[in-house]
């Protein structure tokens, strides 16, 4: 078993004259519609502009709880400039709050996804008091106000009669919420014109219309852009992976919900038939007691197998993750519970055959036998992996179709189109 700690990942060498590193430095931080046109075709952007032209004179504000870190901020960082480029005035506001407020909203976040809620009653009043401060500070003068996630949900209090269209964009799984927290928040949600969820499985029965908007990946980001072969080779070599034998990969944090131990068990079954390697690449678990326990368990199950590589990577490892995904023979996502599963989207975009559990948002991406294979157990996962290793032509076809599926449905440009379409729907 090889273990690599947080300090090890490759960082681009500023002194290197390797073409990949130079081209990386030249890539603009914010991609424009023209950049996407080169990748997806001019007609897709022409279509987007035609849609957005219907929004002439309308303005939008997006409100969330942070400008950096986390998937929502990452998404808004990409979407806001693109909407603006479509000549739709758009503003992005972030709510303020003390640490105590964010501790409360973190507890809300966990409770809404089915966890317990142990904070005192006064937490609810503190939450509302903070919301009131933000209501007084922020402007709500746009035609569309999109509130992201539960933290700013009570800003709906700022809505005056006929004051624009208000949409609540919920990025979390609300299917099994803690009753106490949901009963507190639901009256606010019910006052919006509509709610948007990432999967029908995450929605609830609400008295307002609910819409679907899948999360998306950015094909031009460090994690997804094309890499030159030599960069991939260097990453593989750095982590001690044999480039000449099949490599199975799961990218996810070390969390029981991702079932890394189940992945090792599946690999061990496959290994009886095929000489392969397993790479488990995840985030650092140093501040997460359960993560440490999972890692310990994982190490025990992995034993001394030199073909199991457990990579504990820091958050700035986008390029390494990209390279590992591109180097993999098969990508696994054997989650027991899952949100949308963007690591699956990333693998499909890279034309990789994927074997994944049929949970959360995964079945909408892995269309069984078309864009990957679904499994429901350790043995089933092992069987599907063996099948793909023995049938590389089928594996290749699944990967190519998976790529097309992502291209059509789960890229940032599709996301922008859905946002604009939602606004146009409200204008009808």
How far is Cα 317 from Cα 319, in angstroms, rounded to an integer? Answer: 6
Stretch that binds another protein, among 65-73, 116-124, 195-203, 312-320 (CB under 8 A): 195-203
Q: Which is nearer to another protein, 234 or 405 (CB)?
A: 405
How far is Cα 142 from Cα 166, in angstroms, rounded to an integer? Answer: 10
Per rule CB under 8 A, is residue 205 in the interface with another protein? Answer: yes
Per rule CB under 8 A, is residue 425 in the interface with another protein? Answer: yes
b/e code 146-173 from CB counts within 10 Å (16+ = b): bbbbbbbbbbbebbeeeebbbbbbbbbb
b/e code 205-241 from CB counts within 10 Å (16+ = b): ebeeebeebbbbbbbbbbbbbebeeebbebbbeebeb
The 36-65 site mask, x for binding another protein (CB under 8 A), equals -----xxxx-xx--xx--x-----------
Residues 6+ apart with CB under 8 A from 177: 111, 112, 113, 114, 204
Q: Which is nearer to another protein, 93 or 338 (CB)?
A: 338
Q: Which is nearer to another protein, 232 or 420 (CB)?
A: 420
Are the CB atoms for 355 and 332 separated by under 8 Å? yes
* Contacting residue, 239, 405, 412, 415, with another protein by CB under 8 A: 405
Per rule CB under 8 A, is residue 190 in the interface with another protein? Answer: no
* Contacting residue, 369, 379, 390, 391, with another protein by CB under 8 A: 369
Per rule CB under 8 A, is residue 374 in the interface with another protein? Answer: yes
Sign of the Cα torsion 191, 166, 80, 152 reads negative
Beta strands in 184-240 (DSSP E): 194-197, 210-212
How far is Cα 131 from Cα 157, in angstroms, rounded to an integer? Answer: 9
Stretch that binds another protein, among 84-92, 181-189, 210-218, 329-337 (CB under 8 A): 210-218
* Contacting residue, 74, 106, 370, 392, with another protein by CB under 8 A: 370
**Structure-block tokens of residue 400:** 């190519």
Of 367, 347, 345, 348, the closest CA to residue 358 belongs to 367
* Contacting residue, 102, 117, 124, 211, with another protein by CB under 8 A: 211
Per rule CB under 8 A, is residue 417 in the interface with another protein? Answer: yes
* Contacting residue, 157, 230, 237, 404, with another protein by CB under 8 A: 404
Count of H helices and E strands in the chain? Answer: 16, 13
Per rule CB under 8 A, is residue 393 in the interface with another protein? Answer: no
Smallest distance from the beta carbon of 82 to another protein, in angstroms?
15
Q: Which is nearer to another protein, 5 or 391 (CB)?
A: 391
Enumerate binding residues for another protein (CB under 8 A).
41-44, 46-47, 50-51, 54, 197, 200-201, 203, 205, 209-213, 358-359, 363, 367-370, 374, 376, 401, 404-405, 408-409, 417-418, 420-422, 424-425
């Amino acid at each position: 078993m090889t273990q690599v700690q947080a300090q090890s990942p490759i960082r681009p060498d500023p002194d290197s004259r390797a073409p990949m590193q130079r081209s990386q430095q030249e890539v603009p931080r914010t991609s424009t519609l023209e950049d996407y046109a080169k990748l997806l075709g001019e007609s897709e952007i022409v279509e987007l502009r035609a849609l957005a032209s219907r929004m002439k004179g309308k303005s939008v504000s997006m409100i969330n709880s942070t400008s950096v870190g986390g998937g929502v901020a990452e998404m808004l960082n990409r979407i806001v400039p693109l909407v603006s480029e479509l000549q739709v005035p758009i503003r992005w506001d972030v709510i303020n709050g003390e640490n105590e407020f964010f501790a409360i909203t973190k507890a809300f976040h966990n409770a809404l996804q089915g966890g317990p809620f142990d904070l005192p009653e006064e937490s609810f009043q503190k939450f509302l008091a903070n919301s009131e401060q933000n209501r007084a500070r922020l402007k709500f003068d746009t035609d569309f106000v999109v509130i992201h996630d539960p933290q700013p949900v009570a800003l709906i209090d700022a809505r005056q009669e006929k004051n624009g269209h208000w949409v609540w964009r919920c990025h979390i799984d609300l299917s099994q919420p803690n009753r106490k927290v949901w009963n507190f928040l639901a009256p606010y949600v019910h006052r919006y014109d509509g709610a948007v969820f990432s999967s029908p499985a995450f929605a609830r029965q609400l008295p307002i219309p609910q819409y679907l908007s899948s999360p998306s990946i950015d094909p031009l980001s460090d994690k997804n852009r094309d890499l030159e072969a030599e960069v991939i080779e260097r990453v593989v070599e750095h982590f001690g992976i044999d480039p000449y034998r099949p490599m199975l990969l799961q990218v996810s944090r070390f969390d029981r919900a991702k079932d890394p131990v189940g992945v090792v068990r599946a690999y061990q079954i496959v290994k009886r038939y095929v000489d392969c390697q397993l790479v488990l690449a995840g985030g650092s678990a140093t501040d997460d007691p359960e993560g440490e326990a999972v890692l310990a368990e994982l190490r025990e199950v992995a034993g001394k197998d030199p073909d199991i590589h457990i990579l504990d990577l820091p958050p700035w490892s986008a390029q390494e993750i990209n390279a590992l995904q591109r180097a993999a023979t098969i990508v696994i996502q054997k989650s027991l519970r899952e949100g949308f599963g963007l690591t699956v989207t990333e693998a499909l975009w890279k034309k990789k055959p994927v074997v994944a559990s049929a949970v959360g948002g995964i079945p909408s991406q892995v269309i069984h036998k078309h864009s990957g294979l679904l499994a429901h157990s350790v043995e089933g996962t092992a069987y599907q992996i063996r099948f793909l290793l023995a049938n590389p032509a089928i594996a290749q076809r699944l990967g190519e179709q998976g790529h097309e599926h992502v291209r059509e449905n789960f890229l940032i440009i599709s996301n922008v189109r859905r946002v604009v379409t939602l606004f146009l729907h409200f204008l009808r």
